[in-house]
């Protein structure tokens, strides 16, 4: 079993980030933009906008905090005019300084990166962003599980949240599907059923490791919120776990499904029969459906 490991354990990394947050910088801009989702990984962070990781943040031994991004996010999103091809030299005529972002300017460049990244986000990713923004108990997105020792990857699950239940906090995982996604079917051997059953197996086999790692994530999120100088807030559920309360996994160990992006007519004509068939394979009480993703709360 490949296992599951998350959290910033590298000595000095969080302190170095706190120092960077105290002065004008790309990291300070990220913290001040509460719509950006910061995912805690295994000794690094991903900064997400509409499902696109616009920054990977690490600490290097010789260089300190280092941020990297994909080249496609450096293309100037404001360019609209056609670029001419010189017939005599076969060269494209353009100013490289205008085509690419060469330098990060605090207070300016982040919006350009977001605008460039948003072009690569489909309707489902845009909906996932809206759902994430509506849930203050969100602790993770784009979660990659490894299912077995061979390292075969199951698809990334969309959300992890902390849910307050009676006297305890539970860790809940959610798979999100846009209505019309081909994976949203009742075929047992592929699509969403196979995905969720793969997640379920991983949770059952790694429950203690997963809850332990999400307790570390809660502490890291708390530190990140502290760095934001009030721009970000910490929900009571996340604070309780960050302060040392025991985190529990949902029982049974299952992943919930959220479906969005449909009309009332589509819901009554297609979705309800599909949900009935899905319940036959996955069990009842695991579905949440809303026509609009904006403002959707992840709670059954």
Burial 198-217 (b: 16+ CB within 10 A, else e): bbbebbeebbeebbbbbbbb
Q: What is the mean pLDDT of the chain?
A: 93
Contact predicate 290/262, CB 8 Å: no
Compute the distance between CA of residue 45 and CA of residue 56 in angstroms, rounded to an integer: 6
Query: Could you check whether the bond before residue 276 is cis, i.e. omega within 30 degrees of 0?
Result: no
Q: pTM above the 0.75 mark? A: yes
DSSP-assigned letter for residue 256: E
Residue 79 has pLDDT above 90, yes or no: no
List the one residue out of 256, 285, 243 whose CA is nearest residue 172: 256
In the numeric block, which tokens belong to residue 136?
Answer: 């203050």
DSSP-assigned letter for residue 234: -
Beta bridge partners of residue 67, listed in sequence order: 57
pLDDT of the residue at 149: 45
pLDDT of the residue at 1: 42
Asked whether the CA dihedral 183, 35, 130, 243 is positive or negative, the reply is positive
More confident site: 9 or 278: 9
- Encode pLDDT of 248-294 as tens digits: 998 887 899 999 999 999 999 988 898 888 888 888 889 899 999 99
**What would the mean pLDDT of 31-38 be, rounded to a whole number?**
98
Measured at the CA of 220, the angle between CA 218 and CA 221, to 5 degrees, comes to 65
**What would the mean pLDDT of 55-64 be, rounded to a whole number?**
95
- Encode pLDDT of 113-166 as tens digits: 999 999 999 999 999 999 999 999 999 999 988 644 455 554 689 999 999 998
More confident site: 188 or 85: 85
């Amino acid at each position: 079993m490949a296992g599951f490991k998350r959290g910033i354990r590298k000595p000095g990394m969080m302190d170095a980030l706190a120092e960077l947050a105290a002065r004008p910088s790309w990291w300070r801009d990220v913290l001040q933009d509460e719509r950006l989702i910061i995912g805690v990984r295994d000794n690094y962070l991903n900064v997400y906008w509409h499902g696109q990781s616009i920054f990977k943040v690490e600490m290097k031994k010789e260089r300190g905090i280092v941020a990297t991004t994909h080249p496609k996010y450096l293309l100037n999103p404001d360019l609209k005019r056609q670029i001419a091809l010189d017939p005599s030299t076969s060269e494209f005529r353009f100013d490289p300084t205008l085509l690419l972002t060469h330098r990060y300017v605090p207070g300016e460049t982040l919006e350009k990166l977001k605008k460039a990244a948003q072009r690569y986000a489909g309707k489902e990713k845009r909906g996932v962003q809206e759902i994430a923004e509506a849930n203050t108990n969100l602790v993770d997105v784009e979660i990659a599980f490894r299912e077995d020792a061979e390292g075969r990857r199951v698809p990334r699950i969309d959300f992890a949240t902390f849910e307050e239940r009676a006297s305890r906090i539970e860790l809940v995982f959610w798979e999100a599907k846009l209505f019309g996604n081909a994976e949203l079917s009742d075929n047992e051997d592929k699509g969403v059923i196979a995905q969720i059953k793969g997640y379920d197996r991983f949770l059952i086999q790694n429950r203690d490791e997963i809850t332990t790692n999400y307790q570390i994530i809660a502490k890291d999120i708390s530190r990140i919120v502290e760095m934001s100088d009030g721009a970000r807030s910490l929900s009571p559920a996340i604070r309780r776990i960050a302060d040392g309360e025991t985190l529990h996994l949902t029982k049974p160990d299952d992943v919930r499904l959220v479906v969005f992006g449909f009309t009332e007519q589509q819901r009554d004509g297609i979705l309800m029969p599909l949900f009935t068939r899905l319940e036959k394979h996955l069990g009842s009480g695991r579905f949440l459906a809303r026509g609009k993703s904006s403002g959707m709360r992840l709670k059954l």
